[in-house]
Amino acid sequence: MTFKVSKPSKELLGTIMLDGSKSISNRALIIRALCEDDFPIEHLSTSEDTQAMESLLGTTEEVYDVGPAGTTFRFLTAYLALQPGTQILTGSERMKQRPIGPLVDALNQIGANITYEENEGYPPLRIAPPSLSEKNQLSIPANISSQFISALIMIAPVLPRGLNITLEGKLVSRSYLQMTLDMMAYFGIQYTFDEDRISIAPQKYIAKSYRVESDWSAASYHYANAALADEVDLTLGGLFEESMQGDAVTAELFDRLGLQSEFSEYGVRITRKEQTAPAMLEHDFILCPDIAQTMAVVCGALGIAGVFTGLETLSIKETDRIKALQTELAKVGVSFSRMPERFSKKSGKAYYVVEGKADWESAPRFPTYHDHRMAMAFAPLSVLGPVLIEDPKVVGKSYPAFWKDLTTLGWQIQVESD
C-alpha cells in the first residue's frame, strides 16, 4: 500500500491530543510486572510496541514473539531472565539482525541462563530458569544501547544483592537512562548515579497509579509540519515543558527555526515568531537520536544547512537510518553526508551535513524500510507538495493515529496502487 499525502492549504490550525509516550509506557509495564501489587496506568501508548509488551507480559506461552519491537525485546530479555520455566524470545527478521550480545553477557554474569537459538550475539534467545549468583558487580561499555542498561537497572531492585554497574567509556542516550531511573524513583526505588557508576540495593517497588505523558517524539513531526507552513496555530495535548523525555528538546530546536511554544496545563500551543530561519542548524543528537531524521528532513525542506553529531546509534535501528536518509533525501535534491575524518579528529565526533533545498516536479516516492520514523519524518514534505509514502501502516509501531491526526489538521490522504 502507498499513500499519496498532500496539504491543500499551507495553514496549520487546530488541536489534537497526542498518544502516550511509547518509551515511558514500556518502562511502566515492566515496573508493574516486577511490582508485588498491581496498579493502574493511564494514557498508555496505543503503539504496536506497547501492545506487544502488555500482551506478552500476560502470556503463558513458551514462545514470545515481539515482531519488530526492539525496546520490548530488550526489556523482556531481562525480565524473562528472572522467571521460572523456559521461554523462546524471538522477533522479526530485522530483529534477528539487531545485536543483543552485551545484554545477554551481562545477564549471564549474574546468573541468568540465556543461550542463542541461531546466531551468536543475536535473537532469537532461549531463556531457561536462572541460578542467581551473589555477583552484583558489572562492568559494561557505556556506548551500547541505553535500552540494555535500562533493562538491567529495572530488574536490579529485585535481585538478591541488587546491582552495581560501572559504565566504561562515553555514555550514549543518557536521557533515556535518566528517564528509567526517574520512573523507578517514582515507584520508591532509591539509587545512586555518579559519573560512571549506578548502584541499586535490593528493595521493593511500591505500587502507585501512574499517568503516561504524551510522546515528544510524535510531537516532533507536527513541529516539522509547522516549520514548513505559512500560518501556524497548533495545540498538542498532553505535552509539558518539564518532561523526562530527551525528545522534549524538540521545542528548543524549532524555537531556533522560528516557532514559539507556549505551555499550559493542557499541553503546548505552537505559533510562528516574527523572525527568519537561520542559515544553519547545528545540534548534537546523542540525547535525542529519534528526532534526527525529522530535523534532517526539515533542514532540507527549508534549505538550511544542518550540522549533526551524536548519530552513533542510527545505523542499528529498525533500518540503517543514515543510509536511508541519504538515499531518500537525494530524491528531492538534498544531500546528507558524513564530513571527512579530519573534521572529526579534534572533537572525536562524527559530523553529518545536510545541504541543498528540497525541490521536485512530480511527487517523490519514499519507501519506509519497515521503519516507522522514516514514514513520519518524510510526511511533512507534503506541506510543500504531494509525496508518496510506501507501507504507511508502519507508523503503528509507535504512533497508530498519525495519519488520522494529519487528516484532522487538513491533510488529504489517498490510497495509491503499488
Q: What share of the chain is helix, strand, coil (3-state, %, to 5)?
A: 35, 25, 40
Q: List alpha helices for 82-173, DSSP H.
A: 101-109, 146-155
Cα distance between residue 216 and residue 226, in whole Å: 15
Whether residue 210 contacts residue 30, with contact meaning beta carbons closer than 8 Å, is answered with: no
DSSP 292: H
Q: List alpha helices for 229-330, DSSP H.
A: 250-256, 292-302, 321-330
Cell of 255: 524555537
- For residue 152, how far is the Cα from the chain centroid? 18
Active site positions, annotated: 290
Cα distance between residue 11 and residue 229, in whole Å: 6
Cell of 280: 544553519
Q: Scan for cell 531472565, then name that residue.
A: 81
State the pairing for strand pair 352-355/335-338.
Answer: antiparallel
State the pairing for strand pair 125-128/113-116.
Answer: antiparallel
